[in-house]
A = this chain, B = another copy of it.
Amino acid sequence: MTARKHIVVIGAGFGGLAVAKGLGRRGVDVTLIDRQNHHLFQPLLYQVATAGLSPADIAAPIRAIVRHLPNIRVMLDRVVGIDRQAKQVWLQSGDIVEYDMLVVATGARHSYFGHDDWAALAPGLKTIDDATALRRKVLLSLERAEVASDPDQRKALLTYIVVGGGPTGVEMAGAIAELARCGVRRDFRSITPHCSRVILIEAGPRLLQSFPDALSASAKAALEQLGVEVQLATQVEAIHRTGVKTSQSFIQASTIVWAAGVQASDAARWLQVTPDRAGRVPVGPDLRLRDDPAIFVIGDTACCPDETGRPLPGVAPVAKQQGAYVARTILAGLTPSGSVTPKPFVYRNFGNLATIGRHRAVADFGRFRLSGHLAWFVWCVVHIWFLTGHRNRIMVGANWLWSYLTFARSARLITGDPGGETMSPQPKSESPPWQVVSTLRKST
């Protein structure tokens, strides 16, 4: 009898978790490594950023998810390298983990197309900390605008630019428009909904390019109804601390959100393979490295062509189906007939969804397409269904019902103030309203 195989899975996103679950309670040992202690339901991250949900509502501890699978061991650590000859994964803590089979599912991060200096000025949304930082920025901009006396400064504070018209950008723009308008209407005394401006910039000719034309048009109309200005066929040329320079104009804005492009994680460097243009690792039809059958790469990290030869999109269903496929392939390899070449991976696309604001969405299920309220209802049901953990399903459902009935945003907290940053002194040009009578530091 041979020893039990040790499968190492790097990354506990949708793909990595699907592998681990598929191998749970089977005759293998699994080590699941992630740099976070929680699995994150990224499709709802924009709702944390716009104060609709709490971080804990869309994240579940990885240990709790695989608690009932005794052959899975969870390690909180960062990968710093992979030694393919020795079959070892090197970790930041100094530990080295040996593997028989390795699954790399480390996802993607934002790509600024060579302008890495934009990252600090126009952050993207990938982690809980990204989301709470953006929430802080948006809420502080409203607080600062409430006391700002210079009309130009106030206008810049209340201008929000979202770069990128894919599902994330569309959802972000809709949610910011609602937060900056509904919140303002009731809670602030000196700013009104009409003061704030939300601009969605897309380089291509239409929004949601993975959807059919008609749904792109519905999404644009729904956003405009919420007060979002949609600028199509507009390139971002530069991003400054004060705003965005596009191919059309310069727009002053204090809050800029990046939703324009992603780039795979460092996996290609660890594996010493040549990535594609988006940093993804090319894989064979069975999702293995072509020259190393012990290594699978899946999800946003992999470049896996579909039947037409185009790379599969970086969405959760692809990663989940690939994870399940890899688990089946590994288990099949353990049986006596294991040397048979497995069938290639085929992605089954069940549909695409994107939501716009409080009760609209677009849904593309191939044969039938939806937009408006019914699509939004489908969107809610699907997202609650796929959330990890019963507790999170209940909490998100309750939160949404509460927001729907009351228009309230329940997680409107400014946190993470590194001491003293709350309201930094601002140059003022004229006396602010009401009892505020003068300024300490007049610029002369």
Interface residues of A (CB under 8 A from B): 6, 8, 29, 31, 35-38, 54-57, 59, 61, 63-64, 67, 70, 73, 75-78, 88, 90-99, 128-129, 132, 139-140, 143, 146-147, 186-189, 391, 394-395, 398-399, 402, 406, 408, 410-417, 420, 422-426, 428, 432, 434-441
> Roughly how many angstroms separate A423 CA and B97 CA in the complex, as a whole number?
15
A413–B59 CB distance below 8 A: yes
B38–A435 CB distance below 8 A: no
> Roughly how many angstroms separate A95 CA and B149 CA in the complex, as a whole number?
11
Q: Which residues of B contact A416 (CB under 8 A)?
A: 129, 416
Most B Cβ at <10 Å: residue of A416, A423, A434: A423
> Roughly how many angstroms separate A99 CA and B139 CA in the complex, as a whole number?
27
CB pairs A–B below 8 angstroms (14 shown)? A29-B435, A36-B414, A54-B57, A54-B411, A67-B187, A90-B440, A92-B424, A92-B425, A93-B424, A93-B425, A93-B426, A95-B432, A96-B438, A391-B410
Of all chain B residues, the one with the shortest Cβ separation from A63 is: B187
Give chain B nearest CB distance to A59 CB in angstroms. 6
A93–B414 CB distance below 8 A: no
Do A395 and B398 form a contact, CB below 8 Å, given A61-B412, A132-B415? Answer: yes
Q: Number of copies of this chain in the oligomer?
A: 2
B439–A78 CB distance below 8 A: no
Of all chain B residues, the one with the shortest Cβ separation from A128 is: B415
A402–B398 CB distance below 8 A: no
Of all chain B residues, the one with the shortest Cβ separation from A415 is: B128
Q: Which residues of B contact A96 (CB under 8 A)?
A: 436-440
Give chain B nearest CB distance to A352 CB in angstroms. 29
Do A186 and B67 form a contact, CB below 8 Å, given A6-B435, A423-B77? Answer: yes
Known: A76-B414, A95-B440. 11 other contacts (CB 8 A): A6-B435, A54-B56, A54-B57, A56-B412, A70-B189, A75-B146, A92-B424, A95-B147, A129-B417, A132-B415, A391-B408
Say which residue of B29, B95, B394, B413 sits within 8 Å of A436 (CB atoms).
Answer: B95
Of all chain B residues, the one with the shortest Cβ separation from A90 is: B440
Of all chain B residues, the one with the shortest Cβ separation from A71 is: B189
B422–A92 CB distance below 8 A: yes
Give chain B nearest CB distance to A104 CB in angstroms. 17
Of all chain B residues, the one with the shortest Cβ separation from A66 is: B187
A37–B435 CB distance below 8 A: no
> Roughly how many angstroms separate A413 CA and B36 CA in the complex, as a whole number?
9
Of all chain B residues, the one with the shortest Cβ separation from A187 is: B63
Most B Cβ at <10 Å: residue of A38, A78, A94, A417: A94
> Roughly how many angstroms separate A143 CA and B78 CA in the complex, as a whole number?
13
Q: Which residues of B contact A61 (CB under 8 A)?
A: 187, 412-413
Of all chain B residues, the one with the shortest Cβ separation from A36 is: B414
Do A441 and B94 form a contact, CB below 8 Å, given A394-B402, A415-B128, A435-B31? Answer: yes
Q: Which residues of B contact A426 (CB under 8 A)?
A: 93-94
Give chain B nearest CB distance to A264 CB in angstroms. 19
B147–A75 CB distance below 8 A: yes
> Roughly how many angstroms separate A422 CA and B424 CA in the complex, as a whole number?
31
Q: Which residues of B contact A439 (CB under 8 A)?
A: 94-96
Say which residue of B75, B143, B402 sits within 8 Å of A391 (CB atoms).
Answer: B402
A187–B132 CB distance below 8 A: no
Of all chain B residues, the one with the shortest Cβ separation from A410 is: B391
Q: Which residues of B contact A92 (CB under 8 A)?
A: 420, 422-425
A78–B420 CB distance below 8 A: yes
Do A422 and B78 form a contact, CB below 8 Å, given A56-B411, A402-B394, A410-B391? Answer: yes
Closest 8 CB pairs of A and B: A63-B187, A56-B411, A54-B54, A93-B423, A76-B143, A94-B425, A94-B440, A61-B412
> Roughly how many angstroms separate A431 CA and B322 CA in the complex, as a whole number?
35
> Roughly how many angstroms separate A98 CA and B97 CA in the complex, as a whole number?
65
Give chain B nearest CB distance to A389 CB in angstroms. 9
Most B Cβ at <10 Å: residue of A63, A75, A394, A416: A63
Q: Which residues of B contact A56 (CB under 8 A)?
A: 54, 410-413
Q: Which residues of B contact A54 (CB under 8 A)?
A: 54-57, 411
Do A98 and B437 form a contact, CB below 8 Å, given A76-B143, A91-B423, A413-B56? Answer: yes
